[in-house]
Structure formats: C-alpha cells, structure tokens
Amino acid sequence: MLAEGLTVELKRQVVDDIRKTVVAFANTNGGAIYVGIEDNGEVIGVQDPDEEMLKLTNMIRDAIKPDVTLFTTCMTEMIEGKIVIKLAVQKGTESPYYLSAKGMRPEGVFVRQGPSSVPATGSAIRKMIKDTDGDSYEAMRSLHQDLTFEAANKEFNTRQILFGTSQYKTLGIVNEDGLYTNLGALLSDQCVHTIKAAVFEGTDKAVFKDRREFDGSLLKQLNEVYDYISQFNRTRAEFSGLHRVDMKDYPADALREALLNSLVHRDYAYSASTLLSILDDRIEIISIGGLVKGISFDDIMLGVSMTRNEKLARIFYRLKLVEAYGTGVPKMISSYDDYPLKPKFEVSENAFKITLPNKNAISKKNLLSDQEQVVIDQIEKSTKISRKDVENILQISQTMSGRIIKQLINKGLIQKVGKGKNTAYSLVK
C-alpha cells in the first residue's frame, strides 16, 4: 500500500492543491503524485483518465514558473485492478519554481518537508536563486517581479536614451526567460534599498537637526539625495582685492562622485541602508561592502577600478552620470587641491566610508605651521611684510622664506602687494 511521504503525495482527484506539490517536488528532491488514491492509501481509481490527465498537465503548464513540464511525466498505472494517474516530478534545474499567480515569494514557493508541501522561507528562496543563477547579484532573478520603472523612464527620457521592453534584456534588467533580475529591481520604483540621511548640530553626532530616508529607484535616490545635500552646501564670499570669490562648503564634483561611488560600488546582497551624515565640518557617506576581491586600497587611490556591479555601472555610464571608470576617487581628491585638508577614505571588510571636509568650516589659521603663524602674527602687527623680513624673523634661508610665503598665498591668507623692490605681502581681507 502506498503511503504519503517526502517523495509521495496521494490525491483522490485532480485539485488545485496539486500545483503546490509539483512546485515543492521540483524545488526539493522530486517525487510522485498519485491521483485516484485516498490519503489513507485506499485505491479508488479515476473514471476518465484522459480527461483528468489533460486537466492536470494544463494546470502545471499554466500555473507554474519557470516551465516545469520538461521535468514531469504523466502516465496511467493499474493498481489493485483500478486505473490511477501517476505524475512523476524530477528536481528541476531552474529553482525556485513558484506559482505564477503568487510570484517568487514564500506564498508562491514551496518545498517538501516530510509528507507536506510548505512555503519556503525568504532565505531558502535566495539560496535557490544563488545556486541556480550563480554569484552575480545583478544577474540573479529578483524576488519581486511586480516592478514598475517610472523614475528610470524619466531619467532615460531626459537624456534622450531609449528605455523600453526591447532594451531591458540588453541592459540586463530581465533575463533570458523574461524575468526581472536584481538589477531590474535596483532601477525599479520598488527598490528595497534605501539611503538614510541625517543632519547633526555641531561636529559630533549627538543632536539631530533633520533626518530623511530616500527610497525608490536608485536613479531617483541619486537625484533626491544630491538635491538634499545641496540645501546644506552653503556659499561663503571672500574678497581678493576688488574681486569677490564665492566658495561652496563642498565642491560639486566631490559630492557627485561620492554619491555615485556609494551607489555603484555598494554590496546590494545586504539590506542595510547607505548612511549619509552631514555635520558642520564634514559629510560622511558609509556604504555596505568592502573592496571588491582582487583590488587593494592603494589601487583605488591610484584610480584603478574593479566594479562590483558592472551592469549598474554600465547603465550609469550610458546615462553620462559616470564619465569614465576609475576617475571618481582621483576627482574627489583633485577638487580639494586648493585646500589643506583632503577627502578621507576608510575601508573595512564590509564597509566603505568617504569623508569630505567642509572647506568653509575650519579656519585656515588653525591649520598653520608654527613658522606660518609667526609670519601671520607679524603682518597683523605691521600691516605688511617683505620676503627679507620673513627671512630675518624666522632665521631661515631665502629659499625657505619664499616657500612659506607661497604656502600662505595658496591657503588664501596673504596676497602680494607692490612690485620689484617694493614687493610686500599683506593679509587677505
């Protein structure tokens, strides 16, 4: 007598519940479903085998994705003198299989546990996807298939680049079976990854002034976060003689590249949000995911690029958001060429942190060497100073005195007045 177990299911007749069992067998170790046998093993047979087999095979073909029919065999058997239907299901090669009406979610994906077909956990579904699709996160099938692309459409249309179903496969948004990939999910309006931003009072993280969380398509997040930061990127006016010089707290190039870096290079296999902190003297951006295997921190500083999310980077490049691979870090550093403090990059095994100093927050006088401070103090007393005065006051060589004067000019603290023998230096007001 047949009995239900890990690889055997008994059904009195063809019912919708059989779909769950087929999915479970295909996702686990295969099995057989017998139609025409009661749960207790009593054989009652099937009155119209051909009709029931047609109904059963149509149900499997129409209700389960990916197509599992290649892994099923439907036949009749004679048991105890009665005709029953045996549906043999092999373990499929494209798991997770799921009920198309429910999607690739626990309520649509089933596995076999003993004599029962039970919903798979989220982690079990992700493992099945990884085992089937490989380690490339972007190319794996998305757990969510009900996706829309309003924000992405807007971005592509603004840049006059085609973005429709015919481009989805080329870009990697859908796979060969027409299913949305994780890359598609990242660009979709339903993207589950977010950026959490906070503005703090002062130079520590004790008192919040404002906080926001940005969600939706990564393209939408990029635009919204940049606009948000821009509200706090103040402009300070300085005068060099009769000329007014406006200087932003943060160079636009540095902000842009830091944001792009956090989006393109983060590890989306983890659900933790990217963290953005705005303080009086700096901006910090922490993204999940350390360096890509095979590349070192020194390589990054030299401009070497090895992208974790190649397809995403390619799309950003296509949208002209990224000018060229490997230029982000050097561009951030070069945007601070006129400032004594530079962007700071910190890497751990699972995170990457970028700190951009506020150019207008720290008094340049606080960044002076002892010798530079002596020169500034002397100018404040006597209004102006010559190179010879610097040489005498500091008891240094002509070359060294010229170097100190040049450093103070580069820091925007002093300016040249007069010509020839009358050349002197005064404070920049």
196-357 and 364-427 in the same fold: no
d(CA 393, CA 103): 79
DSSP state of 266: S
Q: Indicate the pTM of the whole model.
A: 0.67
Output the CATH code of domain 196-357.
3.30.565.60
d(CA 262, CA 316): 13
Q: Answer yes or no: are the C-beta atoms of 39 and 4 closer than 8 Å.
A: yes
Q: Locate 323 and state its tokens.
A: 């000018």
- The phi, psi pair for 89, rounded to 5°, reads -120, 120
Please report where in the chains the tokens 């799921």 appear, as a residue.
98
**Pairs from 250-256 (Cβ < 8 Å, separation ≥ 24):** 250/283, 250/356, 250/358, 250/359, 251/335, 251/336, 251/359, 253/331, 253/332, 253/335, 254/331, 254/332, 254/335, 254/336, 254/343, 254/356, 255/226, 255/229, 255/230, 255/283, 255/356, 256/226
Order of strands, sheet of 31-35, starting from the edge strand that comes earlier in the sequence: 8-11, 31-35, 82-89, 72-79
Q: Is 105 helix (H, G, I), strand (E, B) or coil?
A: coil
Task: Please report the pLDDT score of residue 326 as a whole number.
Answer: 62
Task: Please report the pLDDT score of residue 127 as a whole number.
Answer: 86
List the chain pLDDT tens, one digit each, 429 residues: 788 999 999 999 999 999 999 999 999 999 999 999 999 999 999 999 999 999 999 999 999 999 999 899 999 999 999 999 999 999 998 899 999 999 888 999 999 999 999 999 988 998 888 888 776 889 889 988 999 999 999 999 999 999 998 999 999 999 988 899 999 999 999 999 999 999 999 888 989 999 999 999 999 999 999 999 999 998 876 655 556 667 889 999 899 999 999 999 899 988 889 999 999 889 999 999 877 776 777 777 776 667 789 899 999 999 988 776 667 788 888 888 877 778 998 888 889 999 999 988 765 556 678 888 889 888 888 888 999 999 999 999 999 999 999 888 877 778 889 888 889 999 876
Q: Locate 76 and state its tokens.
A: 């009749």
Please report where in the chains the tokens 């990059």 appear, as a residue.
345
Task: Please report the pLDDT score of residue 256 as a whole number.
Answer: 92
Angstrom distances, CA of residue 357 to CA of 50, 65, 191: 76, 52, 31
Does the structural domain 364-427 have CATH classification 1.10.10.10? yes
Q: Answer yes or no: are the C-beta atoms of 84 and 1 closer than 8 Å.
A: no
Q: Locate 367 and state its tokens.
A: 């960044």
Residue 352 region by backbone torsions, left for phi larger than 0, else alpha for psi between -120 and 50, else beta: beta
Superfamily of domain 8-132: Schlafen, AAA domain (3.30.950.30)
Q: Which stretches does DSSP call E strand in 280-343? A: 282-288
Task: Please report the pLDDT score of residue 5 as a whole number.
Answer: 93
Locate the domains of the chain by residue range.
8-132, 196-357, 364-427
Residue among 422, 424, 333 at smallest CA distance from 375? 424
